[in-house]
Amino acid sequence: MAIVNLRPYFVKLVNTRTKRPIDDDTGVFQVYTAGSAVRATIYNAAGTQLTQEVAGTSFISRTMTDGTLEFYTARSVSSVDVSILTAGGRSYFLKSLSASQHRADVDPEQTEFTLVAAFNDKASCTTVRPLGFRLRRGMVIKDVFVKVTAAFAGAAAASNRYSVGRSGSALGLLNNITLSSVGFKQGAPVVSNTGVLTTMRYGSDLGKFHASSTALVDVYVRKSYIAATATASNNLVVKRQTAATLTHSFTNTGVSGAGKGYIYYQYTLLPTELAS
């Protein structure tokens, strides 16, 4: 029975080749406020709020049932954004999803994807925060970049640094990206005024940097990260760097200085490795 004061959302994943609904009980999704990197307030059919964030600790995904995403919002909410990661490692971002859109197509032949995970960070600089998504077997991460929609505040601009990784290597994908201004951020190299490459903002999962012991030639090689198994060490995480001299600790839900934005994981699926 419909809850009078809530708006129902019911979305079914459909295989574009077979034209049949997908049976997926381990795929996950996150619901965001439309056009914002903030997790929306959602409820189940009984009207109980579904947790998507524990402030200062972790972000949480909701699990689909039989390939179906079902949740409720306040009646005043006319649309939401939804980020999906299926059991087989396919990701979709449903922008401005309305309650009347009951279907999302899944192409079983597609191999190139971009997983979107939002951050609205209120954690202290010592906290490693799970994003609620885990890399699936057969995913090959080729690149990661960040879009800052609201800059971190409360500390010197040069100190607002962020790292993106996985639970087995919290700095493994992006290392010390500065988020003190809005816009896109990438793993660009740091070069001295003499033209020497001093470090890279890509982490060890996406690159190998060798500094010359004789100050002659520094070598850097980009690589991809292969999720060979579906292990807990592949839980995606973010971390504010402990080396930063931050003057705040975002532990309350209403703190205005929290940085906001999106992390984009560009990846390929290996057809022989992924789950069905």
pLDDT at 152: 74
- Global pTM reads 0.89
- Residue 59 Cα distances to 40, 51, 129, 210, 228, angstroms: 12, 9, 7, 35, 24
Asked whether the beta carbons of 44 and 62 are under 8 A apart, the reply is: no
pLDDT in tens, 14-47: 999 999 999 999 999 999 999 999 999 999 999 9
CA angle, corner 44, sides to 118 and 131, nearest 5? Answer: 20
Percent of the chain whose predicted confidence (pLDDT) is above 90: 54
Among 102, 26, 96, CA closest to 71 = 102
98-108 pLDDT, tens digit per residue, is 998 899 999 98
Q: What is the pLDDT of residues 238-270, one digit of tens each?
A: 987 754 444 433 444 444 556 789 999 999 999
